[in-house]
Structure 1
Amino acid sequence: MTTEEKIKDVLKSQVSPALASHGGFCTFVKFDEPTATAYVAMEGACGSCPFALETLRMMVEETVVSAIPEVKAVERA
C-alpha cells in the first residue's frame, strides 16, 4: 500500500467519522514526499469553521502522523 493510499484510508476510517458528527469532512489533496507532508482540504462545516485549523492540528494531523510513520505533518491545502 502506498503512502497516499494509507493516508486516504486513515482519513476515511478514523478522521471522517469524527468530523462527520459535526457536519464536516476532509479530503486528501496530495502527499509531498520530500517534506513528508500530507495536504488535505477541510470541507463541509469544517471549511468555514473558525476552529478548523485547531481541528486540523489536534485531530487530523495527530491521527494521521501517529498511524503513518512516513507522514511528518498535515497541512491545509
Structure 2
Amino acid sequence: MLYEKVQAVLEKVRPMLQSDGGDVELVDVTKSGIVQVRLTGACKGCPMSQMTLKNGIERIVLKEVAEAKGVEAVD
C-alpha cells in the first residue's frame, strides 16, 4: 500500500532530521498522490523547513515512491 511505502521512505530520512533536533510524521497520502507530513521538533517553524521539505524529503519520496506526486506540510 502507498501509505506503507511512504512511511518506509520517511524512516530513511528521519535520522537526518533528528540529528538537527527535528522530526517528520506522515499525516496522510491523498487519493491524488500528495503526501502530507507534519514537521515537528526543531523543524517546526524553522526558516529552512520549506527547503528541507522540498529538497530533502520530497526529492527522496518522489524518487523512491513512483505513485507519489508531491509532498506538503500540514499543521
Bigger fraction of residues in helix: 1
1:67 and 2:69 are equivalent in the alignment: no
Structure 2: distance between partners of 1:27 and 1:4: 12
- Identity of matched residues, %: 34
1:38 matched residue in structure 2: 35
Give aligned pairs, total.
74
1:5 and 2:4 are equivalent in the alignment: yes
**Gaps spanning 5+ residues in structure 1: where?**
none
Structure 2: distance between partners of 1:41 and 1:15: 14
1:24 matched residue in structure 2: 22
**Gaps spanning 5+ residues in structure 2: where?**
none
Structure 1: distance between partners of 2:63 and 2:25: 18
Structure 2: distance between partners of 1:47 and 1:31: 20
Structure 1: distance between partners of 2:34 and 2:45: 23
RMSD (Å) for aligned C-alpha atoms: 0.7
| CA-to-aligned-CA distance 1:6-47 (integer Å, 9 cap, x gap) | 1111101x11011111110100000002x2100000000000
TM-score normalised to structure 2 length = 0.94
